Amino acid sequence: MPGLGGGNPAPGQDDGRRPRAPPGRGDPGFFNDFVMPAAWAGTMDVGGRYSGTVSGVMNMMGSVAGASSVIVVGYLLTWTQGNWTLTFLISAAIYAAGALCWLFLDSHTPLERATA
């Protein structure tokens, strides 16, 4: 019976035969969620009246990337004979490119022009 550790056995039920999950394996998701308030606020600032559309497009592109990453990672692991290093380096490069894109986002200029 799994415990609260996301796959680790409940206290007192570890028989020592299966590997335990490493501590901190949820940290990337935890730290990734720090960006979410700024991302959603950016869509509201840029989108204005159309913030729902802008946030929907942002969410859809993230979902498409997440769904396609399963195929890409599979091919990468096949190509590199199971070496995960390249996969993590590509993920880090994608995060760095995203951070660089945020530097050039002008959230003070909305998509919609002000009417007189």
Assigned token pair, 92: 């880090």
Q: What is the dihedral of CA 56, 57, 61, 66, to 10 degrees?
A: 0
Angle between helices 36-47 and 51-79 (to 10 degrees): 130
Mean pLDDT check: name the lowest of 7-11, 79-83, 108-112: 7-11
Query: What residue numbers bound the domain in which 89 lies?
Result: 64-106
> 47 lies in a domain?
no
Structural domain count of the chain:
1
More confident residue, 26 or 65: 65
Answer yes or no: pTM beyond 0.85.
Answer: no
> 36 lies in a domain?
no
Distance CA 60, CA 72 (A): 18
> 96 lies in a domain?
yes
Least Cα distance to 95 among 116, 69, 74 occurs for: 69
Looking at residue 96, its pLDDT comes to 93
> 26 lies in a domain?
no
